[in-house]
Amino acid sequence: MKPIIKAIPKKDLEQELTADKFIRMTNKADNELYIITARDSPNIMQEIGRLRELTFRA
């Protein structure tokens, strides 16, 4: 099995979460919703894939 990539630095992820991608706060837990694409947020997409793979392997 291939090794899983290292986590993307938090600062890189935060830089991609811009106001133009923000949709709204959730009704519970005050989570934030954003709409992203792989083109405009490649680091977020890579981190989502990394976390999905960690979950799948668990």
Instruction: Supply the DSSP string of 1-58, one letter for each residue.
Output: -PPPPPPPPHHHHHHH--GGGEEEE-SSTT-EEE---TTT-HHHHHHHHHHHHHHHH-
Output the pLDDT for position 35: 98
Question: pLDDT below 70 — which residues of the chain?
Answer: none
28-to-3, 14, 33, 41 alpha-carbon distances in Å: 35, 21, 12, 25
Instruction: Give the pLDDT score at 1.
Output: 87
User: Position 57: which residue type?
Assistant: R
Question: Tokens 């694409």 appear where?
Answer: 37
